[in-house]
Chain A
Amino acid sequence: MIGGIHLIWYVLIMFFTGFLLGRFIKSEWIKKYKIIMILTMLLLFSLGLEIGANDELFEQIDTIFLYGSLIALFGSFGSFFVGYILEKAGKAGTKK
């Protein structure tokens, strides 16, 4: 395991530093050179390496996929359900 709990704080600092700094600097180069895409690909590649190289993790790929699928289905359904209710409630409120 690398990083530790402090990693998230560095992530938050980097995110908000970029967000504040971005107001004062040019940012066309990010889209032009597809920086976000390249960095995401590198991150995902390293994530794949981590799972592939880790025998213990690779043996659990079936439960990883099963629980991942269930969380995706429940999370997506829940989001749609609450969104649907709020939208209908909002429309009903407007009609009154």
Chain B
Amino acid sequence: MSAVLLLSSVFAGLLIGRVTHFQFPGNFVQIFLYLLTFAVGIDLSKEKIEKRFIKDIVLTIISTVVGTLGFAYILSFFIPLKKLETLLAASGFGWYSLSAVIIGNSYSAYIGSISFFANVLRELLAIIISPFAIKKSKYGTISVAGATSMDTLLGIITMYSDRETALVSFGHGFIISMLVPIVVNMFLTFLT
């Protein structure tokens, strides 16, 4: 339901923007972004990660970061974007609202839009494959979910696995959410 609401917001924006050419003043968008990251920070501060799952969480984080950026790097040889632009667009790890807005405002609206679609599709893909993929690999499935493994995908992963996997999924999403602004910033620094 929330995914439908969020996608509807984008399409409503696309339609209204196309017809009226209306845009929020720049500061409004930044204020929304600051408030969102502040609220996410407060929300995450209440959560605790169990120590006995740290090894699994670390391995899933390595899978997400190395797998995403490694394969995005391979892809960068076949598409007409700069290597760092491809890595930048991939570095949202599923957190499309944050990565797309930061990239759009700090570097390029075009790459920001690509990042948005890449991360939305990653989440949709994770929703579709999780029930089947989790039987083959729990780490792999959690990694595909990226930052959403602690919210949108947590319910699905819990439903098709066990409590331990759900806790690893949560811890993974928690750390990946913290890594997104740091990794995006790293690539932005290299590009600007």
Q: Give the B-binding residues of A (Cβ under 8 A).
A: 1-5, 7-12, 14-23, 25, 27, 30-31, 35-37, 39-54, 57-58, 60, 64-65, 67-84, 86-88, 90
Contacts and interface: CB of A to CB of B under 8 A. Distances in A.
A75 B105 contact: no
List the 7 closest pairs (A to B, CB-CB), nearest first: A48-B13, A18-B41, A52-B17, A78-B71, A68-B117, A22-B45, A2-B26
A50 to B, nearest CB: 6
Interface of B: 2, 5-6, 9-24, 26-30, 32-46, 59-60, 62-64, 66-72, 74-75, 79, 81, 86, 89-90, 93, 97-98, 100-102, 104-110, 112-122, 125-126, 129, 133, 136-144, 146, 178, 181-182, 184-185, 188-189, 192
Contacts of B112: 47
B144 A17 contact: no
A72 to B, nearest CB: 4
Given A8-B184, A72-B118, A19 B41 contact: yes
A50 B17 contact: yes
What secondary structure prevails in chain B residues at the interface with A? Answer: helix
A35 B35 CA distance: 9
Given A1-B105, A76-B125, A88-B137, 11 more contacts: A11-B181, A27-B42, A49-B22, A51-B113, A57-B109, A69-B117, A70-B75, A70-B79, A75-B93, A82-B63, A83-B141
Contacts of B40: 15, 18, 36
